Structure 1
């Protein structure tokens, strides 16, 4: 993987963000750190292309972003879309989860990450049997 220069400001901001993680970020980090999630290697608050992403798995070119309620505003959602498009153009896949999803349903969040990383198949859809 090619390394890119990271500005001193971005490097400093990433370090500060690692020390001030949200509850949702800390909960997810405890599940994915140290290769705990199917052997995937994640980095937190990683600078990529002028942005600082919440979590990145460079080997799979996978980014996981955790969004709080501010991301529901049209302005922030538009900025997120531009950011995602730039990162996707560099070959990254971006997964976004609401903080609340991580806090309430960490198992399904992790399962989705594993599926997108290509380490598991998606579960078959549930079908109801019709009773005659």
Structure 2
């Protein structure tokens, strides 16, 4: 999506600081930035656990923006995404702490049991 590529080039300072902490599986999970989903572009996403991270600056409190954000969150939630909104000021204060909190939340969304890589071994073929 062209809009997502543009947003990646024009990331805000809070987005850049958080991305520095989340990218490269530093948090133990893969995060994507400016992730297109439906007709929207989320600031960050952990697709494995269907978690979207939105960074909210002061503009999210003005005009019709709160209503638009609620509508967007409802639509994405109905499609199985969990949306977490984080204040930009919190990231500016301590991006590492925010990233750690996101990683803990994302990890908690992983299934308890991961599927096996194949059928169980037959009798007598068990691994030592």
Structure 1, unaligned stretches of length 5 or more? Answer: 1-10, 121-132
- The 2-side partners of 1:85 and 1:106 are apart by 27
Taking structure 1 as the reference length, the TM-score comes to 0.77
Who is 1:14 aligned against? Answer: 4
Q: How big is the alpha-carbon RMSD for the aligned residues of Structure 1 and Structure 2?
A: 1.5
- The 1-side partners of 2:57 and 2:32 are apart by 20
Q: Identify the structure with bigger relative contact order (alpha carbons < 8 Å, sequence gap 6+).
A: 2
Which one of 5, 11, 26 corresponds to residue 36 of structure 1? 26
Greater gyration radius: 2
Structure 2, unaligned stretches of length 5 or more? Answer: 110-128
- The 2-side partners of 1:92 and 1:105 are apart by 26
Which one of 58, 77, 100 corresponds to residue 69 of structure 1? 58
- Correspondence 1:100-111 to 2 at 5 A: 100-111=89-100
Kindly state the Cα deviation for residue 74 of structure 1 after the two structures are TM-superposed: 4.9
Secondary structure, counterpart of 1:116 in structure 2: helix
Alignment partner of 1:55 is 2:44 = yes
Q: How many residues align?
A: 109
